Structure 1
Amino acid sequence: MDGMPAAQRVLNELRNMIIKGDLAPGSRIVERTLCARLNVSRTPMREALKLLEIDGLIEISQNRGARVLAFTPDEARELFEVLASLEGLAAELAATRMTEDDAAHIARLHEAMSAHYANRNRDEYFDCNSMIHEAVIAAARNRTLEITWAGLLRRAQRGRYMAIVSQDRWHQAMDEHEQLMAAFEARDGVRAGEVWRQHLRHTGVTIAEVMAKVASAA
């Protein structure tokens, strides 16, 4: 992170804190406390908060300050229905458009993610998983699709991290990733699209179930 502008560093830190639940839905964001924690001044903090509001992760009120937006089961279902279509199309296109370098890059990420899964390294698994989804989008070579997907990404990341709380879903997700790799190796666009659409649908259902359980236990 050396050389990274302070506002960007703060933005990355706060995104991770929201995605991984360190800043819980509905919680107030106390600027002074976070400035001290991240060792930054108020200016980069406020710049980062404005960008988080654009991402749809927080809400800034003139009277009440900033708070983390809730992520509801219905929002999760709707969001992942859209992502299933977008990422399914991306996988279908990527299967026939990807270069050898693209394929090798995705294969390396998959191997690393598999190792993290075997060792139950949740955070490292999540990071590799996110990079695989991004690499599939890039390999589709469709700028309109990529821009549309990027607009939903930040909200989706909170859900994806939540989904691997379920051990059964984590195992199922790994199996779906294996199926995608097989489809890519065969350059089978139809199969890749089917697998990836189902993968995103299953993720959305799991997130909604996890959130409903948390709400009922509260």
Structure 2
Amino acid sequence: MTSRDRAAAPPLSRTAYVAERLKEDVASGAIKPGELIKQTVLAKKYGVSATPVREAMRLLEADGVLDYSPHRGATVREMTPDTARDLYRLRAAVEKVAAEMAVDRMTDAGLAAIKEKHAALAQAQRAGTASPAELSMMNREFHFAIYRQTSPLIVQHVELLWARFTPDTTVWRRPEDAAELQHDHDDILDALVRRDAAAAGRLTAEHIEHAARIRESEPDLRAAGHDERQDFERA
């Protein structure tokens, strides 16, 4: 959620406010996977007491964004191969529906905002001055300009899925991959302009599957954390 969106939104409880800020910091890479999260530091940073920070961290632990250990404390959950594959499959399904809904509910102003984010990313690629992390954040802005045409519920659900991938592990690193992903964006935008909900949904799902293939093909991007499946089966 941008500062403009936050200003337009209804007031949040302190816990919801902290949870929103935490998700933003995880998604932007300001808080990295495996990094210890200190309640006192976050309370000072967000200008709240320790109580809403503690409650927000519990919410994000329940959502799978954070891990908590009595001995170590809270950390951003590290990606595992199974988790990465599951997340991309979930993203493809959820964002397909979100793109279809966006077409149904999109206003002229909403479409203009989507075009603006698309053009900004295209310009950054042409200029060649943006870092991969910056391209990743601009990619996020393009996608969420689309999803914000749906409802806060949809946006919050998609945000939880995106929060597990940080800009420093982006698939937008190699220019050839970035060019292909932006071509996907061109096709998605064309479907949105034509108000073709089915095409927008299908192309969005294919785009996410494309990103998943890029991640799997590059060893230093492929998730390498401990596989959680056996732990889950024993629980």
* TM-score, normalization by structure 1: 0.74
Given that 1:116 and 1:124 are in contact with CA atoms closer than 8 Å, whether structure 2 keeps it comes out as no
RMSD, aligned CA = 3.4
Q: Which residue of 2 aligns with 1:158?
A: 164
Q: CA deviation at 1:199?
A: 0.5
Q: Return the alpha-carbon distance in structure 2 between the equivalents of residues 65 and 160 of structure 1.
A: 21
Q: Which residue of 2 aligns with 1:55?
A: 63
Q: State the one-letter code of the partner of 2:170.
A: A
Percent of paired sites with the same residue? 27
Q: Which residue of 1 aligns with 2:100?
A: 92
Q: Which residue of 1 aligns with 2:74?
A: 66
Q: State the one-letter code of the partner of 1:169.
A: D
Q: Return the alpha-carbon distance in structure 2 between the equivalents of residues 86 and 70 of structure 1.
A: 22
Corresponding residue pairs, total: 211
Q: Which residue of 2 aligns with 1:128?
A: 138
Q: CA deviation at 1:85?
A: 2.0
Higher helix share: 1
Q: Return the alpha-carbon distance in structure 2 between the equivalents of residues 93 and 148 of structure 1.
A: 10
Spell out the pairing of 1:1-218 with structure 2 (5 A cutoff).
11-12=19-20, 14-32=22-40, 41-95=49-103, 97-118=105-126, 119-139=129-149, 141=150, 147=153, 150-159=156-165, 161=167, 162-167=169-174, 168-208=176-216, 209=218, 210-212=220-222
Deviates more, 1:121-130 or 1:80-89: 121-130
Given that 1:160 and 1:203 are in contact with CA atoms closer than 8 Å, whether structure 2 keeps it comes out as no
Q: In 2 relative to 1, CA 6–160 (structure 1 residues): closer, same or farther, beyond 3 Å?
A: same
Q: Return the alpha-carbon distance in structure 1 between the equivalents of residues 162 and 96 of structure 2.
A: 15
Deviates more, 1:74-83 or 1:54-63: 54-63
Q: CA deviation at 1:182?
A: 1.6
Q: Return the alpha-carbon distance in structure 2 between the equivalents of residues 211 and 9 of structure 1.
A: 31
Q: State the one-letter code of the partner of 1:57.
A: V
Q: In 2 relative to 1, CA 107–202 (structure 1 residues): closer, same or farther, beyond 3 Å?
A: same
* TM-score, normalization by structure 2: 0.69
